[in-house]
Amino acid sequence: MISEKIKQLLKRPMLIVMIFFLPLIGTVISSSFLAKVQSDSKIPVALVDQDHSNMSKQVMDRLQKTTEIQFLSLNEEQARKQLAKNKIDSIFMFPNGFQEEVEAGNYQGVIDLLTLPSSVATEAVREVVASEVTRLTTNVKAANEVRFLYKVYHIQAGPDLWKEAYHYTDNQWKPRPLMTIDYEEQGTKKRTKQGSVQMTGYVPLWGFFTLLICCITSDWMIKERRHLFKRMKTMQKGLYGYIRGVSAAYAVLYVLQACISFALFKWLYGVESYGVLLYMCIYVVVCVALSTWFASESQRVGSYYMISVVMVTGLSIIGGSFFPVGELSATIEKISQWLPQHLLLYQHALPLTLIWKEIAVSIACICLCAFKIVWNVRSIK
């Protein structure tokens, strides 16, 4: 029954396009658009390197990796023109002799700042730049102290002592996890990190488009209710078996779509954890159950489409598919943890024994939807 229904569905080109291609196309376009909007919304700040030393280059490279502020590397003439046109917020200049000042332990007044009265992020950027300069001066002082102590205690030092001490101190600035677990497995020592990292935006966006397409493709429940369901009403097992078979066939196609989407995301965005694939597969099964239930509650296809769009959009907003709902309300954030979209928000690196909540909620949701579908089908006259 299921295999025959899958073959029938695969013979419908429009349905194949909707299931396998539309969610992927919508996800890629939307994520690219949101990434561009996010990039354009960053405050632009110019960095001018007049020293052209290793330390000035190091500070600029680190600042340009900052995600909250858009640091631009320009020459002085370009930066002044951009500031005059109000296209950048401020200019931070590394003057000649910057590295010599830092190596001497000076950190105040080593960078020149040019702003306008309309500058809004000067203080915030100043703190970021000052932290990087402080990092350099601390590294230099630590390396000088090590070299001094070696001389005091007449310890023979290698030619790279100062560099080694500098790099060792610099590595102490790199954050480490609050908790790690060391364990041995078959004689090999490994280190794992405990915790979860919030998933990047493309997977939750994929969840929105997938649920929307699930609702659209579940219109068979409404279209076949008037004629086919009434004829099959005389054989209850036949009707229920038919609904289970069609729903299972759609679930298989959507699971296959989830696998293809994961492979594409892995290629485009570098997804590493296969736990994401597990959650995507669970999510699509829940989506099929929800959309079939929604369709069983509706009488007309047109109104069902409109209600589905509104409902899917609302669930996705509350579920956090578009932005972190914790910024809106703590209550909404607690509610979102019980919605299917929560499956896609975190990349869990945990075994199945520790994700019982998500699986239990998903199974309960599927069972409730199945019960309500049976109840609605029985009421068909």
Which pair of tokens denotes residue 163?
Answer: 């560099």
- What does the pLDDT average to over 342-349? 63
Flag whether pLDDT at 181 surpasses 90. Answer: no
| Domain locations along the chain | 2-34+201-378, 44-173
- Architecture of the 44-173 domain: 3-Layer(aba) Sandwich (3.40)
121-178 pLDDT tens trace: 777 788 888 888 888 888 888 988 888 888 888 888 888 888 888 888 888 887 654 4
Flag whether pLDDT at 187 surpasses 50. Answer: no
- The structure tokens 């965005």 sit at 269
For the chain, give the percent of residues with pLDDT over 90: 23
Cβ contacts of 191 within 8 Å, gap of 6 or more = 180, 181, 182
353 vs 371: CA distance, rounded Å = 27
Nearest to 333 by CA among 177, 194, 198, 136: 198
Flag whether pLDDT at 347 surpasses 60. Answer: no
Residue 327 has what pLDDT?
A: 66
Q: Mean pLDDT score of the chain, rounded to an integer?
A: 80
- What does the pLDDT average to over 246-273? 86
How does 111-125 read in b/e, with b if 16+ C-beta sit within 10 Å? beebbeeebebbeeb
pLDDT band at 279 (very low <50, low <70, confident <90, very high): confident
219-253 pLDDT tens trace: 888 887 766 666 565 555 567 778 888 889 999 99
280 vs 344: CA distance, rounded Å = 7
Distance separating the N- and C-terminal Cα atoms of the chain: 26
pLDDT band at 330 (very low <50, low <70, confident <90, very high): confident
Flag whether pLDDT at 185 surpasses 60. Answer: no
Q: Which of 98-107, 171-180, 210-219 has the lowest mean pLDDT?
A: 171-180
Flag whether pLDDT at 7 surpasses 50. Answer: yes
Residue 188 has what pLDDT?
A: 37
Q: Note whether 373 and 293 are within 8 A (CB).
A: yes
377 vs 374: CA distance, rounded Å = 5
Q: Would you list the DSSP string of 200-248? A: PTHHHHHHHHHHHHHHHHTTHHHHTIIIIIHHHTT-HHHHHHHHHHHHH
pTM for the full model?
A: 0.62
Q: Note whether 158 and 146 are within 8 A (CB).
A: no
pLDDT band at 334 (very low <50, low <70, confident <90, very high): confident
Q: Residue 368, CB half-sphere, CA atoms under 13 Å: how many? A: 10
Integer CA distances (angstroms), 368 to 2, 316, 375, in order? 22, 20, 11
| DSSP state for residue 156 in the 8-state scheme | -
**What are the two backbone dihedrals, phi and then psi, of residue 92, each rounded to the nearest 5 degrees?**
-115, 120
Q: Which of 150-159, 201-210, 284-293 has the highest mean pLDDT?
A: 284-293
Q: Would you list the DSSP string of 235-283? A: -HHHHHHHHHHHHHHHHHHHHHHHHHHHHHHHHHH----THHHHHHHHH
Exposed/middle/buried for residue 191 (C-beta within 10 Å: 0-12, 13-18, 19+):
exposed
Flag whether pLDDT at 348 surpasses 80. Answer: no
For the chain, give the percent of residues with pLDDT over 70: 82
53-90 pLDDT tens trace: 999 999 999 888 887 788 899 999 999 999 888 888 88
